[in-house]
Structure 1
């Protein structure tokens, strides 16, 4: 993960309600093993975060100036230090208005991963610990906890610059409970939601369930395809990369790599070609499948206890809210007897 530029400014805030104080770095950080380890740890923590917002910039305006400054930096009209200084001053004003209880170091980094350029912005979480110096005196030191992130965003610069129609080049940790500080950080980035990750993931799983049913697959084959989907989607989520429907289709059925993709398009599920996987939705996805003596049963785990009830003592399933098509078939059969 080559880091082009990285800098840390600090917003100091006392809990007495007084305005915060901004301490600006004079120059970007010099690359060191410690800096690399910090970035790597933050990147892993960010990728593992669930429930992120995926979206795009609001139109440039006085209320949302960050994208203009970023554009000027990329055009070499601002150097990295000037760009981050202006941006952090703006962030300080927004956080003061939101009554942020405590301050934090502000990390802004421009880095490359593979063929893609990113800008990453985070308010770092610090902890204090006591160390014993060589002269045996105790000192309090601040440590950055790379495993904790509450305010962070990542901008895919390559996607933003090369795909003007994209609605998912920004990802951002979703503010918990609509916190004022979290909303202020979102407004600082100028991010509006463009892709509903959980909704897209639920639709994908529905499309997959329909596909498995239409293919009339044996239990083992259905389980293998389910595992392929969950494994791929989870891997992409861990890497911070979106699901590609064409790539997923090829993994689900190597002999017919376009089968699942064509099923999605022909049924018009409205899925984006690429979208971020929602880990929480994936974790709830599991299929129970069995076939015996002319009877085929298949349902998703999240229906258990809701539409499907298992009576363990009698080894029975109770199914509620039967599909209308099945009800009509059963009625017609009962009438004809």
Structure 2
């Protein structure tokens, strides 16, 4: 995988003891050499790997600073450096408005991946790394903490230019810090949440299962098709791309490539022609898992009805053939550890 670096700017946002935010600007763009390309590739992959994303579009009811700055840059009235300065100023303003203590390096990367151009915007923290020289002197270096990326969003500039009406050209990480942070980042970008990837995923799950029943798929065919559907959706999500309904239809039923497509139209299932999905939700197609009351279980969908039997009437699960490590633990516990060890020694 490789990305084509177009522009990269990094500014720093600080918080004074008085509680006021301030920005420190880099006066030139960062070059587009190999290390920059590697950085943007890592950001691209890290962002795609985040499971919980929201989707949004610019809103007239929000702060227009970012949409206006973007329009000015795309119209060539402002260069990229000026555009990123305006973005940084907008972020400082929202941090102050929301009274959040966030600081860090604001990375604004413009790049091309496959046939689309993207603008990734993320506020990253840093961490110190320690190394020893040949003389055993201690040296430190500061690294961007990409692994802990939480405050980040990405604008699909190509989608925004050609299909803004779809309303899902901006994605953002929901994160774990609470709804207030998500609201703050949406306010910073001047956008409102729209397309719900989780709901899209649930609709795909329901629609595909309905099609299986209508097309009278056998159990083995269902299991195979579910895996193919999940693999296709996961691949699209990891690449940061939407699921295409026509392509999904061919995956659901290769023998009738438009079968699922026509079924959705006939049943008025209101599945969009192109939509983002949430892999975590779609994983329910191929794996069952749950935890509660001191029990944690997980098993592949293909085992249900075979090695795993479920009685809905009594809410009872019967598992035939336990994993070796679990079986070992159970035998040690039921037989007594000393007796079990003697048995193992005799064997």
TM class, shorter-length: 0.7 to 0.9
1:4 aligns with 2:6: yes
Describe the SS at the equivalent of 1:176.
coil
> Is 1:38–1:146's contact at 8 Å kept on the other side of the alignment?
no
- When residues 103 and 255 of structure 1 are mapped into structure 2, their CA distance, relative to the original with a 3 A threshold, is same
In 2, Cα distance between the equivalents of 1:45 and 1:70?
Answer: 24
Instruction: Give the TM-score, by structure 1 length.
Output: 0.82
- Aligned partner of residue 12 in structure 1, secondary structure: strand
Matches within 5 A, 1:141-156: 141-156=141-156
Matched, 1:25 2:31: no
Q: How many angstroms does 1:40 deviate by? A: 0.8
Contact 1:98–1:181 under 8 Å retained in 2 = no
Secondary structure in 2 aligned to 1:7? strand
Q: Answer yes or no: is the 8 Å Cα contact 1:60–1:68 preserved in 2.
A: no
More displaced stretch, 154-163 vs 17-26: 17-26
RMSD: 2.6
Moved more, 177-186 or 196-205: 177-186
1:117-165 deviation per Cα after TM superposition (whole angstroms, max 9, x unaligned): 1111111131112334577543443111222211111111111111132
The equivalent of 1:245 in structure 2 is 245
Question: Residue 307 of structure 1: CA displacement?
Answer: 8.4
Structure 1: 5+ residue stretches without partners: 291-296, 315-337
Residue number in structure 2 paired with 1:38: 39
Please, which runs of 5 or more residues in structure 2 have no aligned partner? 288-300, 321-347
- Does the 8 Å CA contact 2:52/2:175 hold for their aligned counterparts? no
TM-score for both structures, normalised by structure 2:
0.80
Structure 1 residues 308 and 237, CA, compared in 2 at 3 Å: closer, same or farther? farther
Q: What does residue 88 of structure 2 align with?
A: 88
Quick one: structure 1 residues 35 and 94, their matched pair in 2 at CA, closer, same or farther if it must change by over 3 Å?
same
Match of 2:112 in 1: 112
Match of 1:278 in 2: 278
Query: Contact between 1:17 and 1:99, CA under 8 Å: does it hold in 2?
Result: no
Once the two structures are superposed, residues 85-122 of structure 1 have per-residue CA deviations (whole angstroms, 9 ceiling, x without a partner) of 11101201211333333420001111111221111111
Aligned counterpart for 2:318 among listed residues 309, 312, 319: 312
1:236 matches 2:236: yes
Q: Deviations over 1:246-286 (max 9, x none)?
A: 11111222221100111111111122111111111112223
Aligned residues: 302
Q: Secondary structure at the match of 1:312?
A: strand
